[in-house]
Structure 1
Amino acid sequence: MEAATGSSPQPKPGGAAGGARNLTFATIAFALCFSAWGMIAPIAPDIQDELGLSDTQTSIMIAIPVVLGSLLRLPFGVLTDRIGGHKVFAFMLVYTALAALLVGFASSYAALLGAGLLLGVTGASFAVGIPFVAEWTPPKRQGWALGVYGVGNIGTAVAAFSVPAIRDSAGQEVAGLVFAAVIAVYALIWWSVARDVPGRKPKKQPYGEVLRSGWDLYRLSLFYFVTFGGFVAMAIYLPKLLTDWFDLSLTDAGLRAAGFTILATASRPVGGVLADRFGGSRVLTVAFIGVGIDAIGLSWQAADPSMVPVTILCLTMAAFLGAGNGAVFKMVPAFYPNATGAATGIVGAAGGLGGFFPPLLLGIVKDATGEFTIGFVLLVAFAWMCAGLALALLEVRPAPEPGGEGAVPS
């Protein structure tokens, strides 16, 4: 295949010290945005009881923040390529602070849906950081760097245990105020210390060319639909799942869900490093097979769940999904070295949508059958289909970048 090319060459990566510093700043910014993105899910079971919602209504409330963020990843990727991640992330942080404040004061179901939809914009923060970090990082280190950036997913873990605790002790309004204040302060820090790579020039990303690249793009999008979508779906739905299965308190369920997120997040840079060494397709094949096995176990547990097996299955699934996330985003800049922003936006949008549909499906299945079994069976089918597609990529290598040293094999 041929790698998509842009109208201007990539800037040379900055120095190692500058790259590490800006990678750290971007990872923190991403984590804060994702912490706000995950504010509603941990308190959804209590809201369901307080407002008398069905499982389907609750699932919609949990999933709604994913929608707008998924759709906006593509335009935010374009904007980042044109004006730089420094300015775009500054805007994103300020917006996120305001959205978090709004969630704190939303009390009706309609208000929560509206706040969740607006909060969803923060999910597009991922597409801002990917080209920003890639510009600072030499190609041979991008798998590691983008994996480290993905550690920002830990923001959902922060929300999972902190939002219920603050809500129980001081109220939902205080939770919104605390999150808004912390993010606003960091917006000032980001503007003061983060920088775009020296000498960067605005890039007009060839979205039409990337979209016409065909099966390669669709396959990467499907991989991320399952790996990142599966991570998001489990991370945001796990508090409800655990309270339904084991009648846990919101704080206890949130802490356990945070463990899932932390392990998945820690596994992401590991997946990137393994992809650097062994190839993304090999890492993905193992990850998808593992996810399918875990989904079989959860479908078996759904009728009569037990804490120890469920914990083992969820944590191993977290590791497989996290490694898969890191592997996919090692492959994106390798296949599209001059169109990283465009490809990131498209693939990232697919991943975001992957996090939207499973919670809805689980809610509908639970209302219809009383159990979650069918939802996990469908995950088995998707995961093992993707394992077969990843195997087919073992002999596929992206073409060298014209005039460059060549892309890193996937």
Structure 2
Amino acid sequence: MKTAAAERVPRGAYVNLILAALGFLLTAWAWGLISPLSAFYKQHLGLSSVQQSILVAVPVLVGSLGRIPVGALTDVLGARVMLPAIAFLTIIPVLLLTVAGDSYPAMLAVGFLLGIGGTPFAAAIPHGNGWFPPSRRGVALGVIGMGMGGTAIAALLTKPMREIGPDAQFYLCAAVLAGYGVVAWLVLREPPGRTVPAEPFAHRFTEAARQPMTWPLSALYAVTFGGYVSFAVYLVTYLQSQYGLEQGDASLKAAGFTLVAVVFRPPGGWLADRVGGAKVLSLCLAVLAVMAAWQSFAPPLYPWATITFLIMAAMLGAGAGAVFSLLAQVVPRPKVGAVTGIVGAMGGLGGFVPPLVMGAVYGATGHYTIGLLLLALVALAALAYTWTQRNRRPPVDAAVKAPARPDLKTR
């Protein structure tokens, strides 16, 4: 039976949670700066649809893979060091955007560096996980996941800031990141009871990869979070190509999609804590599959496509929250950072591939039907796995005491 002490939230937990989420939000803003401008760069640099897709996908790829070392470093150095350090480092590529816009190779290089802005997720998640008891981690990690709303900030500010000046948003973002870095360094504290692993990175990575739920959670997160990321970076292009919207209108609608997804992430984690992660995730995946299949027929934008995308956003956000609620329950606390790095990386990679596929499909066929049907099929496959595994207990890592109920159901 749980004791009151075990369920007590330590003093300072909420301040640290907010700062961790804010750090991810602001770096995600930087991470998403290129996507709303992709149509401009396509025209300005004479890019093909595939080249445009690569441009928006490069930061996603780097930010995803970078979560693995960032998660491992967070286990050693702590989020108090990693979050402000990443904020300061992200300033460099943000400022380079002011001088790289006339060269495609230069933009690819800056996009590569901008991927740094996608890595703080792997530092913020174990930080939030350490501050809260298991029964509240789903909501806490969902709040941190709302940091992906930073991509909506990029989309919303693109048009008004470019009216001030072509580089105004870049300078503003750099200044805000600098301010956050200072505040985070002064205010952030490590959670009570945090231990520093003595093993080298290679050993910890291997142990994290051997955790029985690491790869199933990675696959599920690649569908939910990956689906969200792919729409966050490609929806502007999709709306312009499929429905002929202007950049400002498309960016506004893409921001709406992002906001719905991030708002539904904490409720997804909250429901998973209470009724079981498999139930919440199964519902989200089922609805997502139906909506993606429906959208493949390119219904009218008003109201059908708009409603469809908002429902998909809600399901992707809630589903991602459910996955990390499961992670917090089935992964031993000392390994959360490393496992989060792997799961987060796979989720980000799930967002790297679809924009490339969508660009290639549109370039070859002139429409997006095949790409959206592929999303529906992937969601159905994830649904089938989740449902069949909901009562199965994964093998226990013999080296570490397993959580009380390490299965997908958890309820």
TM-score by length of 1: 0.92
| Alignment partner of 1:103 out of 97, 105, 128 | 97
Alpha-carbon contact 1:88-1:128 (below 8 Å) kept: yes
1:185 aligns to 2:183 (yes or no): no
Distance 1:142 1:217, change over 3 A: same
1:71 to 65, 74, 79: 65
- For 1:249, the aligned partner's letter is E
Match of residue 107, structure 2, among 100, 109, 112: 112
Q: Select 2:357's aligned residue among 332, 346, 361.
A: 361
Deviation at 1:402, TM superposition (A): 6.4
2:406 is equivalent to residue 376 of structure 1: no
Q: Does 1:138 align with 2:136?
A: no
2:272 match: 275
Q: Distance in 1 between matches of 2:339 and 2:98?
A: 35
The 8 Å contact of residues 105 and 176 in structure 1, kept in 2 or not, is answered as no
Partner of 1:224: 221
Stretch moving more, 23-32 or 335-344 = 335-344
* Residue 22 (structure 1) aligned to one of 16, 36, 43: 16
Structure-2 separation of matches of 1:221 and 1:331 = 11
Q: How far did 1:174 drift?
A: 2.1
Matches within 5 A, 1:75-224: 75-107=69-101, 108-171=103-166, 173-203=167-197, 204=199, 206-213=204-211, 216-224=213-221
Q: Which moved more, 1:231-240 or 1:103-112?
A: 103-112
**CA distance in structure 2 between the aligned counterparts of 1:296 and 1:37, rounded to whole angstroms:** 29
Which of 238, 263, 285 is equivalent to 1:241?
238
CA contact 1:287–1:320 (8 Å) conserved in 2:
yes
Quick one: distance in 1 between partners of 2:255 and 2:360? 25
Q: Which residue in the other structure is 2:342 paired with?
A: 346
Identify unmatched segments of 5+ residues in structure 2: 1-5
Using the alignment, how far apart are the partners of 2:393 and 2:279 within structure 1? 13
Task: State the partner residue of 2:309.
Answer: 314
State how far apart, in whole Å, the 1-side matches of 2:271 and 2:393 are.
17
Instruction: Determine the C-alpha separation between the residues in 1 that align with 2:116 and 2:76.
Output: 19
Deviations 1:46-80 (A, max 9, x none): 21112221111101111110111111111110100
Shift in alpha-carbon separation, 1:73–1:308, aligned structure 2, 3 A: same
For structure 1, list consecutive stretches of 5 or more residues without a partner in the other structure: 1-11
State whether structure 2 residue 36 is matched by structure 1 residue 42: yes
1:325 match: 320
Residue 266 (str. 1) matches residue 263 (str. 2)? yes
SS of the residue 2:119 aligns to: helix
SS at match of 2:297: helix
| Residue pair 1:13, 1:135 contacting (<8 A) in 2 also | no
CA contact (8 A) 2:268 2:317 kept: yes
AA partner of residue 30 (structure 2): A
What's the CA shift for 1:247?
2.4
Equivalent in the alignment of 2:3: none
CA contact (8 A) 2:143 2:266 kept: yes
Q: Distance in 2 between matches of 1:199 and 1:154?
A: 30
User: 1:405/1:109 Cα in 2 relative to 1: closer, same or farther (>3 Å)?
Assistant: closer
Moved over 4 A (4+): 12-15, 397-405
Distance 1:18 1:404 in 2: 28
Cα separation, 1, equivalents of 2:146 and 2:351: 17
8 Å Cα contact 2:145/2:265 also seen in 1 = yes
Residues 27-36 or 156-165, more deviating: 156-165
Match of 2:56 among 56, 62, 83: 62
Residues 117 and 235 (structure 1), Cα distance of their counterparts in 2 relative to 1, 3 Å cut: same
C-alpha separation in 1, matches of 2:174 and 2:302: 35
Q: Aligned-pair distance for 1:397?
A: 4.7
Call closer, same or farther: CA 1:315–1:307 in 2, change over 3 Å.
Answer: same
Displacement, 1:343? Answer: 1.2
TM-score by length of 2: 0.91
Residues 143 and 327 in structure 1, CA contact (< 8 A), matched pair in contact too: yes
SS in 2 for 1:105: helix
Percent identity over the alignment is 41
Q: Distance in 2 between matches of 1:92 and 1:210?
A: 23
For residues 14 and 87 of structure 1, what CA distance do their matches in structure 2 show? Answer: 26
Aligned 8 A contact 1:14 1:198 in 2: no
Q: 1:335 — aligned with what?
A: 330
Contact 2:74 2:337 (8 Å CA) reproduced: yes
- Post-superposition offset of 1:14: 8.2
> Does the CA-based 8 Å contact 2:58-2:108 persist in structure 1?
yes
Q: Do the aligned partners of 2:329 and 2:403 also contact (CA within 8 Å) in 1? A: no
